[in-house]
Amino acid sequence: MGNRLENKVALVFGAGSEGDGWGNGKAAAVAYAREGARVVAVDINLQAADKTCNVIHSENGVCIARTADATNSGDIAAVVAATLDQFGKIDILHNNVGVTKMGGPVELLEEDWNKAINVNLTSVFLTMKHVLPHMVECQSGAIINISSLAGIRYTGYPYPSYSASKAAVNQLTSTVALQYARYGIRVNAILPGLIDTPLIYHQISSEYASIDEMVDARNKQCPMGRMGSAWDVANAAVFLASDEASFITGVCLPVDGGQSVRCM
Contacts of 102 (CB under 8 A, 6+ apart): 108, 157, 158, 159, 203, 206, 207
Q: Burial of 138 by CB count in 10 Å (0-12 exposed, 13-18 middle, 19+ buried)?
A: middle
CB atoms within 10 A of CB 112: 17
Residue 137 near residue 89 (C-beta atoms within 8 A): no
CB atoms within 10 A of CB 239: 17
- DSSP annotation of 139: T
**Looking at the chain, how many residues does it have?**
264
Beta partners for residue 106, in sequence order: none
- Given 32, 159, 162, 180, which residue is catalytic? 162
Decide if 154 is catalytic: no
Give the residue numbers annotated as catalytic, written as ranges.
162
